[in-house]
Amino acid sequence: MTGNVTFTMIKPDAVRGGHIGAILKMINDAGFKIRAMKYTQLSPEKAGEFYEVHKERPFYGELVSFMSSGPIVAAILEKENAVVDFRTLIGATNPAEAEPGTIRSLYATNVGENAVHGSDSDENAQIEGNFHFAQTERF
């Protein structure tokens, strides 16, 4: 299945803004199948672990604090060419640079509070999906 799955989180800003339904509809309409999904809140420790690769970046503290500030929706999505197609659907990390009609252009606030996460490689899709979901939670 490698190459056909990606991992996403609808981030606390988009959840607070009431955009879960609209974002899930865009994901469905783009042809992604939901293989796993949960509504949960990350502790600061878990958020720090998830974003460990960014530990040395100046925005790490802000990122961890934001990602643990409220509930998120985490999901594993399946589609041919999932990682690349999902990144096209969500748009650039900075919403000011995101193509019109993308999820971030519609719902993100700024580069830190950018509505959704999408894995940047097949390898990270596997790692990130495993971080959030047991095998028994995947369908």
Binding site for ligand CMP (CB under 6 A): 54, 59, 62-63, 93, 111-112, 114, 117
**Look-up: residue for tokens 């992604």?**
32
Q: Which is nearer to ligand CMP, 53 or 139 (CB)?
A: 53
Could you tell me the smallest distance in angstroms from the CB atom of residue 54 to ligand CMP?
6
Q: Cα–Cα distance between 1 and 111 in angstroms, integer?
A: 31
**Look-up: residue for tokens 């955009």?**
19
Q: Which is nearer to ligand CMP, 36 or 115 (CB)?
A: 115
CB atoms within 10 A of CB 135: 7
Q: Which pair of tokens denotes residue 43?
A: 């502790």
Could you tell me the smallest distance in angstroms from the CB atom of residue 25 to ligand CMP?
21
Q: Which is nearer to ligand CMP, 68 or 114 (CB)?
A: 114
Residue 106: which of 17, 38, 32, 33 has the closest Cα? Answer: 17
Q: Which is nearer to ligand CMP, 41 or 93 (CB)?
A: 93
Residue 54 is among the residues annotated as catalytic for this protein: no
β-sheet with 72-78: strand ranges across:
33-40, 72-78, 5-10, 116-118
Catalytic residues: 117
